[in-house]
Structure 1
């Protein structure tokens, strides 16, 4: 364990992250959608930056064999509007897996992180018909787009459809196995099957998003020592300008606090 005084506090880490997003809003880097209100102080969470959310949502694909990050230009204007609606509709979460579709801006409530975690029931699916049709249409165009399609369906809480798509499009090449297993585990996690997800991540090898998620799983299944062991190398490997790096640091600090 690192010395306690080497670790920023959880409050400092999350407050700094929220302050950066607030400064982005004040500088005009965030686009306020109709009906959204920009924060007046750094203590409130800024609105979702939809462009950043896309970059965060495809970040896991950079660790797959293809190392591709699909551009949002793949979506037409109507589908992009649904993406903005989909990201805005996400409720704050505490335990967020590193997988395609997820974005760290979903973790934005400090008090939820400090409180004992209670597992809730999966929410109702979100209606995004344009994105759903797009996902089904591109799923056969290679593994990267298949994972993106499944991730968008999972983000929309269309769990059965996402699972069927992952089964249908699984590549025969072994090099994709860890990436596919990571997404299957993330689907199980979001659907409330957390022990199953943890077992899948435990057998996913050195794939970096899965290593992140082994730490996440251990942390929120009350195994802080295992969480520290898993998350410490992940923090070192993820680039410091990555939102996933900062989220890994948050979780590592939380694991240190919990023992």
Structure 2
């Protein structure tokens, strides 16, 4: 059976075009670093040459469609160091405190695409250091529990994230994201399926199905997410990226 590609189905842009758009709009590199036209450089190699703009990542971590409140003017302590970490996420829920620029390495998405290998297992250890970030989480947990919990998830401090979300209203999406990060992926999907529709919920339903191997079911949900999330958000580009991956491997 011939595999569908992102360039010949549903007018989806190519992975390369998506990556170039993502880097051009969300990095702190100069505009001359991203050129249009043909290139022999692989997308994952291009990604390695760019640094994420910390303020753009902070804006996406506070996207109002997720959190409902504007981002704090002051970036958290060690935020720039966190977003500059070389490790890449693959199956990333759209949730407060998460930033889509963590999806940096496209090669596993483009080639073999083994969803079981790309899903979180919950067995990874917490990131060492980041004492300043953890202090910020402790100080801001009461006023910004959703974002603080998301940062704790990113650091691998799952118990801290659970405590921050316990008793917090409007935290259903973030609680499901915590299940996902802990490797309880089927439970997370069931939780998202039970929630009212929103841009984040549609994104997460599609993302979860994509990385649980339910690729055909993921595509319409990811398309809804693409339609619902503003193009100015990095989450829009990541939704289109996941949709293109579904088109390639579906």
TM-score (norm 1): 0.78
Structure with bigger helix share is: 1
Match of 1:48 in 2: 52
Q: Determine the structure 2 residue equivalent to 1:31.
A: none
Match in the other structure for 1:69: 70
Structure 1's 235 and 120: CA in aligned 2 closer, same or farther, altered over 3 A?
closer
Contact 1:97 1:213 in 2 (8 A): yes
Deviations 1:64-95 (A, max 9, x none): 5x7312224264xxx2xx11222222611221
After superposition, where does 1:12-27 map in structure 2 within 5 Å? Answer: 12-20=17-25, 24-26=28-30
For structure 1, the residue ranges without an aligned partner over 5 or more in a row are: 29-40
- Which residues of structure 2 form unaligned runs of 5+? 33-44
1:225 aligns with 2:216: yes
> Could you give the per-residue CA deviations for residues 15-73 of structure 1, whole angstroms, max 9, x where no partner exists?
44235556x41259xxxxxxxxxxxx9464402221111111111xx125x73122242
Pick aligned residue for 2:113 from 93, 109, 116: 116
- Structural RMSD (CA): 2.7
Q: In the TM superposition, what whole-angstrom CA distance separates every residue of 1:147-179 from its partner, at most 9, and x where no partner exists?
A: 111111111110111112211x423xxxx2xxx
Higher relative contact order (CA 8 A, sep 6+): 2
Contact 1:45/1:108 (<8 A) preserved: no
Is 2:2 the partner of 1:4? no
**Counterpart-to-counterpart distance in 2, 1:93 and 1:147:** 20
Is 1:202 the counterpart of 2:193? The answer is yes
1:73-92 matches, within 5 Å, as 73=74, 75=76, 79=77, 82-89=78-85, 91-92=87-88
Aligned residue runs from structure 1 range 147-186, under 5 A: 147-167=146-166, 169-171=167-169, 176=170, 180-186=171-177
Distance change in 2, residues 1:213/1:45 (3 Å): farther
Q: Distance in 2 between matches of 1:20 and 1:136?
A: 32
